[in-house]
Structure formats: C-alpha cells, structure tokens
Amino acid sequence: MPALKERKKLRFTSGDTTCAAWHYPGTNGGCVIMAGGTAVTKEPASDRFAQRFHDAGFAVLAFDHRGFGESGGVPRQVVRLDEQRADWQAAIGCAAELPDVDPDKISLWGFSLAGGHIFQVAADNPRLASAIAQSPLVDGPALAPHALRSMTPLAFLRLFGRGIADALGSLLGRPPLLVPTAGVRGAVASLTTADAMDGDRALDPDHRYPNWERTVAARIALQIGGYRPGRHAPRIQCPLLVVVCDQDQSALPGPAVRAAHNAPDSEVLHLPGRHYAPFLDAHEQAVEAEIAFLEKHLR
C-alpha cells in the first residue's frame, strides 16, 4: 500500500488540546478532510478511501476527534458533539495551511456520525469546495424509535440507566462509564441494530488496528436522540454528495435523502446494502463515485 508509506503524522490544535492526523501529500491542490463516526478512529475509518483519493492526486487529512485514538483530550471515549464539530473546524484551518493544498479546494468526508457533522460544518464554511456525507446520521429523533425497537426492554433500561449514571458521574469528576459501540440484540451497547455488528468485518477485517478501542461513554444514549444536523442542509453552499445505503439500519436512508434534497446543490448516491456497505460489497461503486465527485469540484 504505497499511500500508507507516503503519509506523515501531524497534530493540530483544537480547543485546549491537539488532534492527531495523517497527512497524505497531494499533487493537484485538492484536499479531503476525513473522520469516522462515534469511536471509529482515523485508520479504520479512512485508510481504504484515503489511499484511493491519494492515488487520484488529492491530499488527505484524516484525523481523530479529541478524546479518541491518538488525539489528546480527557476524559477518553466521550462523544461531545460540539467539540467534535470544533475539531472539524480546526482541521479545515490546518488543511488550508498545508503546502500542497489550495485553500479553495478543500472537501470534507465523514462517515456515520461524522457524516452527520458534515452538514453543519459545511453550512458554517461557505468557502469549502465540496462535501461528502457517507451513511450519515442526520436526524436523531427519526432514528431513535428504530434504534429502541432493536433493543430488548431489559437492555434498554440498563443502557439508559448507565447513560444517566455516566452523565451524573461526569458532573462529579468520575471516569466515564463505557459501553461497547455495537452489540447483538439484548446486549448493553450503544447500537444493537441489525447491521451494527458488521463494523468489525467492514472496518478491520484483517485485525490491523489492535489499538482501536470499540467503546464509548454511555451518555451517548442520551445525546443522539436529539441530534439533528440535517436541519442545516439548506445553508450548505458547496456541492454536497450524500451516499446512502438502501438497507441501512443504523442511520436510516430516508432522513439522509430528505436532508440532501434540502441542500441547494446536492447529489444522492444510492448503494445496495446496509450501513457499512461502502466498505464491503459496494466499496468500488462508492469510491469511484466519490472520486468522480471530487474531480468535478476540486480540480
């Protein structure tokens, strides 16, 4: 994998800490900023797509949100939605200063929860050249009833009880109470939808990422149901590509399609399969469409 040998580690300041990132040098002035959802770190989230973007001539800046992976910040494994969006803002500033990047040719790429962040971050940055939201979580209230139906009553009570205890404990300075990011129905996990367990074989089939911690602070169960980044779609001025998986059970395709249609300049790519299809059977279709989109708007 030549691209992995060419990339360099760097850090950029975000808030009171720093975020770790891989910088793949580019040749055409364009740059794609990438991050994954919930607790997915930069390598499993971006490696396969970043290599292809790099091969097409684009620079890539793939980063960990603060509190995850190699980035700084405490407590660890805690999703703070406003801080994650601030990390994206800091990444845009970092990318604009890279020597191989034209500040007017920067695109965003986010998957799952990070794909949802794309909507507000893109809306707040009209100078962006384009944005790609892949299997994005755009409407928590629309997703919540479906996610709850995927849980058993006992697992629901235990998860939300742990979430409340975690949130209250944080006010007292206690360490986060962690739960697995994915589990089978009946497990106490952040997500137990039908395709939640596809993540390991999609993102780490060869067990290349032993340091990837697949846990998250339980308070996320109290947050996601109210998160609606798709409502910012009408303010997005740059071209937007929304990649939806038609059998997605973890983020749902319908809300993503509706949000895309509310953006002034958007395209929707429908893929067969479930939440992680862009990393599995639909990978070639996804990456080829995304490269074509980037070449159209960043060259």
**Token reading at 6:** 């060419």
What is the structure's pLDDT at 1?
62
Q: Report the predicted TM-score, pTM, of the whole model to 2 decimal places.
A: 0.97
Q: What is the mean pLDDT of each run of 10 residues along the chain (299 residues)?
A: 83 98 98 97 98 98 98 98 98 98 98 98 98 98 93 96 97 97 97 96 96 97 96 98 98 97 98 98 98 95
Q: What backbone phi and psi angles, to 5 degrees, belong to 12? A: -135, 150
Contact between residue 240 and residue 264 where contact means Cβ atoms under 8 Å apart: no
Rg (CA), the chain: 18
**Token reading at 73:** 């910040």
Peptide bond into 264 cis (omega under 30): no
The residues, ordered by sequence, that sit 6+ positions from 99 with a Cβ below 8 Å of its Cβ are none
pLDDT in tens, 19-42: 999 999 999 999 999 999 999 999
**Token reading at 259:** 């949000």
**Token reading at 30:** 């364009």
Cα distance between residue 230 and residue 248, in whole Å: 17
What is the structure's pLDDT at 88?
98
